[in-house]
């Protein structure tokens, strides 16, 4: 009986610890989710240049180049989308905007 109680307590502690973990990655909105109307949003951008490029490519952009992070923490560069060359921005939330 004592072993059963200890095993139950152990399981309860382990499941509580698993649910208490937090994520340290930037949010990744669905590609089909509407972008924030105020995007690009200024903020401390935790994306690397490679991650910003991958985010753009995952959303149908090709030939991504000239990505530079501006003073507001927004990645800006150029890319091709639907055959047209466009200027793009990726903010700290992963919102993609075309200028």
Residue that the structure tokens 């989710």 belong to: 33
Instruction: Give domain status of residue 26, yes or no.
Output: no
pTM for the model? 0.61
Q: Which domain holds residue 83?
A: 39-99
Instruction: Give domain status of residue 25, yes or no.
Output: no
Instruction: Give domain status of residue 5, yes or no.
Output: no
Q: How many CB atoms lie within 10 A of CB 64?
A: 21
Instruction: Give domain status of residue 64, yes or no.
Output: yes
- The region that residue 56 occupies, defined by phi over 0 for left and psi between -120 and 50 for alpha, beta otherwise, is alpha
pLDDT in tens, 19-55: 444 433 444 444 444 456 666 767 777 789 999 999 9
Q: How many domains does the chain have?
A: 1
Instruction: Give domain status of residue 47, yes or no.
Output: yes
Between CA 25 and CA 23 the distance in angstroms is: 6
Instruction: Give domain status of residue 61, yes or no.
Output: yes
Residue that the structure tokens 């240049």 belong to: 49
Instruction: Give domain status of residue 91, yes or no.
Output: yes
């Amino acid at each position: 009986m004592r072993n059963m109680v200890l095993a139950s307590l152990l399981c309860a502690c382990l499941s509580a610890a698993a649910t208490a973990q937090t994520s340290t990655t930037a949010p990744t909105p669905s590609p089909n989710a509407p972008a924030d109307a105020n995007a690009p949003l200024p903020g401390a951008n935790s994306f690397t240049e490679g991650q910003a490029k991958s985010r753009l490519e995952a959303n149908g952009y090709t030939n991504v180049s000239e990505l530079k992070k501006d003073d507001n923490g927004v990645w800006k560069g150029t890319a091709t989308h639907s055959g047209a060359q466009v200027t793009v921005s990726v903010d700290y939330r992963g919102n993609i905007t075309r200028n």
